[in-house]
Amino acid sequence: MKVLVVGGDGYCGWATALYLSERGYEVAIVDSLVRRHWDLTLGVDTLTPIAPIRQRADRWYELTGKKIDVYIGDICDYPFVQDFMRKFPPEAIVHFGEQRSAPFSMIDREHAVMTQVNNVAGNLNLLFAIKEFNRDIHLVKLGTMGEYGQPNIDIEEGYITIQHKGREDRLPYPMQPGSFYHLSKVHDSHNIRFACKIWGLRATDLNQGVVYGVLTDETSRDELLVNRFDYDEVFGTVLNRFCLQAAVGHPLTVYGKGGQTRGFLDIRDTVRCIEIAVANPASAGEFRVFNQFTEQFNVNDLAMMVHKVGTAEGMNINVCHVENPRVEKEEHYYNARHTALPGLGLVPHLLSESLLDSLLHFAIRHKDRVNKAHIMPTVTWK
């Protein structure tokens, strides 16, 4: 089965491409490499030295005999999209190829507009390409749990049945995204739902939680296959950031009160969830939404867990509450359903002290590469 991984040079995309390749899928990567360019413009860098994309793919081939084609270009450029669709006609497209950082989208007007135009136009191009080339292609699209915001009722998986004034309907779950980036994902979701309706396309929207961890069975096999690990204020996700902060002796930076609750998952579950979605395609015309996370934590919980594990290792860890750069609820109800993926076979890697311990050691191993100037938040929402 041929699977295109758009954004296959990124944190989740690279791990997914190798995971699918290892399991016998025929994989091709599409990537513009713009994420590496954005790192350069901001002066930030992954904690881990990552090899150039073609070198990564070549090394994978040397080790496994499995070939991963690489198409370098921008999916906002439709002739490029047509070109790879002809050369590698896929049965599924896994779409990670978007600007995926909330703080990046909040830097200024240019970054906000660029994020929305880039994400919306690229995603529309993939929808039109599926319509043009083969309407049976299953689009597996990465969304985010952040599309829902933090409503005061339970979060369902994409849809909610509403009783209202004596009538009832099953409607798209109301969305309250919290950044121009998160908004772009809501725009995408609406566009995809419509394309499924009018063209009979098949799509799965994976509303992913916050991903942590770095190693998968495949990326740990060789130095040249190592995945990126972002620790900076713009691209770093919270648990990875806390582990890095502990490793370099920086206080853990809890934004505001720290009662912000979110869904989380291990990157080893990200790759498995994608495989589950690919192996169980949506029906023709179906816009299916899965909430892709395994556990809920609030930010204080995570800081305390890193504190505990690090202290047991003899580290001296402080937790500080910094002024929240975001506009968000710091104490709120949060209960989100996430039963669809386990129902299709996901057996989660729950967050454990041993995983935190190995993450801490991983961060310590690379700590000479850390630029401490990029740890404290500078991008504000207001």
Show which residues are catalytic: 144, 181, 185
Query: How far is it, in rounded angstroms, from Cα 329 to Cα 303?
Result: 18
Q: What DSSP state is assigned to residue 9?
A: T
Interaction between residue 381 and a copy of itself (CB under 8 A): yes
Q: Is 183 in the site for a copy of itself (CB under 8 A)?
A: yes
Enumerate the β-bridge partners of residue 142: 206
By CB under 8 A, name the one of 43, 54, 61, 162 that touches a copy of itself.
162
Nearer to a copy of itself, 26 or 77 (CB): 77
- Contact criterion met (CB below 8 Å) for 31 and 8: yes
Determine which residue in the list 163, 314, 347, 368 makes contact with a copy of itself, applying CB under 8 A: 163
- Phi first, then psi, for residue 254 (nearest 5°) are -85, 125
C-alpha to C-alpha distance for 129 and 132, rounded to whole angstroms? 5
CB atoms within 10 A of CB 153: 10
323 to 352: interface string for a copy of itself, x by CB under 8 A:
----x-----x-------------------
Q: What's the rounded Cα separation, in Å, for the pair 17 and 218? A: 10
Select from 34, 70, 72, 121 the one that contacts a copy of itself (CB under 8 A).
121
Least distance (Å) between residue 185 CB and a copy of itself: 10
Nearer to a copy of itself, 183 or 226 (CB): 183
The contact pattern for a copy of itself, residues 68-87, with x = CB under 8 A and - = no contact, is ----------x---------
Q: How far is the CB of 183 from a copy of itself (least distance, A)?
A: 5
Tokens of 205: 């929207």
Helical (H) or strand (E) element with 379: none
Pair of tokens at residue 197: 């309706």
- For residues 138 and 92, the answer to whether their CB atoms sit within 8 Å is yes
Which residues lie near a copy of itself (CB under 8 A)?
78, 109, 112-113, 116-117, 120-121, 124-125, 128, 151-154, 160, 162-165, 167-169, 171-180, 183, 186-187, 190-191, 193-194, 197-199, 327, 333, 381-382
